[in-house]
Amino acid sequence: MRWALVKVCVAVTAMVVVAFAVPLGLVIREMARDRAFSNAEREAAAVAPALSITTDRAELEKVVASAASDAGMAVHIPAADRTDAAGDGEGAGAGDVAGAGERAVDIGRQRATDKDIAATRRLGRASTAEVPGGSTLLQPVALSSGQIAVVEVYVPESEVTNGVGTAWAVLALVGVALVVGSVAVADRLGVRMVQPAQRLVESAHELGEGKLGARVPEEGPTELRLAAVAFNSMADQVVQLLANERELAADLSHRLRTPLTVLRLNAASLGDGPAAEQTRAAVAQLEREVDTIIRTARDAKPQTAAVGVGVGCDAAEVVRERMDFWSALAEDEGRKVRVAGVDRPVRIPVARTDLVAALDALLGNVFRHTAEGTAFAVDVHNGEDAVIVLVSDAGPGIADPEAAMARGRGSGTDGSTGLGLDIVRRLAESTGGDVRIGRSVLGGTEVRIWIQLDGREPERRGHRGSVRRRGAMRRRGPAALVSTFNRSRSHP
């Protein structure tokens, strides 16, 4: 593209130079010719007054010598007509005129032919004639006797072309300079166009090789800037789509942990024997494989994934359903279970499957990270603009709640992937709410899910796991609702 642009500029500039330089060179040559013949006309005009006064050879030679710059002038005076000269007088004066003009007078070197001189005398106007080495100007001059003399001025070819070669050389140099300048300008323009295009190609190759951070600087011509903007937008969308796919793979894999927990608990109650040991080993291996899938899917940098909102569900119904499921396991392990606030419908702007996944993640963590016999509770409170779901237990609690809320920071030593709380957090944030971890009245961990009903966006400060809301909602909502829960659980 760069060399194509250079070739186009060279061709266009060369055509422009030829179109202007050739006519200008011809004009310069004509101007030089006109200048030479104008000088010859001035020299001939300088002799005309003397010819109109006298035809004496000696006088005319002096005039020609003083008027001509070189020996290139000649004067041709025709012979006098004796009859006409004598008819005017009757005395001695008539004889003097006849004697003086009876012979032709030629002064200087004649270069033009007699035919050309005669033609000029007959026509009575100036003319030019080609002679060896140049041209001659033939200027007719009327004499006092009524005859026509011809002044011949020689114009050599060197005078006709004087300065033409230099002018043509200057025009050639200007033309070459224009061509070279156009090549330089075209090269710079080509670089300005080609470099952004090359960076676009290189970034496309890098993106195709899996380097998802490849981006194109938005510079160059307008079209290439728009192409860079479109490419960067496409790359961002590709990264977002890949991140969402990893999110989905991790979330789906994490949802498998709930039935795996049930299998592990059931396998633990099978007793001794080869079949029981094989079942427990298979469940353990399956758990390890699921954890591997989750961690592999979480290798990429975190990207925001959309949580299904807008569908809506009955939170009380979902809590009752999931507690029926987990209560059976809790009974087998001797855990006390308490459920509150699910006696009437509680509509929330969250998809049913997402709320199920969030509850299963929290309750699964209770069974997974607390000892058998540890009590837990689920409380639902329906406020004017928000719904709070509290999941609490009587276990040892979480030493670092902020680290637990950070996406993908599972320690790996206790089998945690760190994704369960992130599923809960994304569910709450999709409605404009948030998630907090604290100490429960039972003595262990309390996870509070704040689900906003009016869809307002939360104000984010600091770490992405720490979501804060501003305004009166923060001051009056959570504190009052949590206080109500604490009082209700302190006095069952």
pLDDT band at 469 (very low <50, low <70, confident <90, very high): very low
Residue 447 host element (H or E): strand 445-452
For 487, what's the count of Cα atoms within 13 Å in the CB-facing half-sphere? 7
Q: Residue 305's pLDDT is what? A: 38
Tell me which of 221 and 31 has the higher pLDDT.
Answer: 31
pLDDT band at 376 (very low <50, low <70, confident <90, very high): very high
pLDDT of 131 above 90: no
Tell me which of 435 and 469 has the higher pLDDT.
Answer: 435
Q: Residue 339's pLDDT is what? A: 94
Model confidence pLDDT, tens digit, residues 56-68 = 778 777 777 776 6
pLDDT of 96 above 70: no
Model confidence pLDDT, tens digit, residues 403-412 = 777 654 444 4
Fold of 307-490: Heat Shock Protein 90 (3.30.565)
Asked if 120 and 140 count as a contact pair (C-beta separation under 8 A), the reply is yes
The single-letter code of the amino acid at 311 is V
Integer CA distances (angstroms), 271 to 107, 259, 329, in order: 150, 20, 17
Neighbours of 120 (CB within 10 A): 24
Q: Residue 101's pLDDT is what? A: 44
Q: Residue 148's pLDDT is what? A: 86
Q: CA-to-CA distance for 92 and 95, rounded, in angstroms?
A: 6
Which of 46-55, 135-144, 357-366, 429-438 is least confident? 46-55
Going by C-alpha positions, the residue among 397, 266, 274, 281 that lies closest to residue 332 is: 266
Q: What is the mean pLDDT of residues 320-329?
A: 87
Which DSSP category does 87 fall into?
T
Q: Residue 122's pLDDT is what? A: 86
Q: Residue 299's pLDDT is what? A: 59
Q: Residue 320's pLDDT is what? A: 92
Contacts of 417 (CB under 8 A, 6+ apart): 250, 254, 291, 294, 295, 298, 408, 410
The backbone torsions φ and ψ at residue 372, rounded to the nearest 5 degrees and listed phi first, read: -60, 145
Q: Residue 306's pLDDT is what? A: 40
pLDDT of 468 above 70: no
- Tell me if 229-305 shares its fold with 307-490: no
Contacts of 479 (CB under 8 A, 6+ apart): none
Which of 189-198, 367-376, 409-418 is least confident? 409-418
pLDDT of 92 above 60: no
pLDDT of 302 above 50: no
Q: CA-to-CA distance for 49 and 326, rounded, in angstroms?
A: 137
Percent of the chain's residues with pLDDT above 70: 78
DSSP symbols for 144-167: TTS-EEEEEEEEEHHHHTTTHHHH
**3-state SS class at 418:** coil
Q: What is the mean pLDDT of residues 243-257?
A: 72
CATH code for the part of the protein at 2-87+96-165: 3.30.450
Going by C-alpha positions, the residue among 310, 337, 196, 326 that lies closest to residue 258 is: 326
Q: Residue 80's pLDDT is what? A: 64
pLDDT band at 458 (very low <50, low <70, confident <90, very high): very low
Fold of 229-305: Helix Hairpins (1.10.287)
Which DSSP category does 478 fall into?
H
Enumerate the domain spans of the chain: 2-87+96-165, 229-305, 307-490
Q: Residue 64's pLDDT is what? A: 76
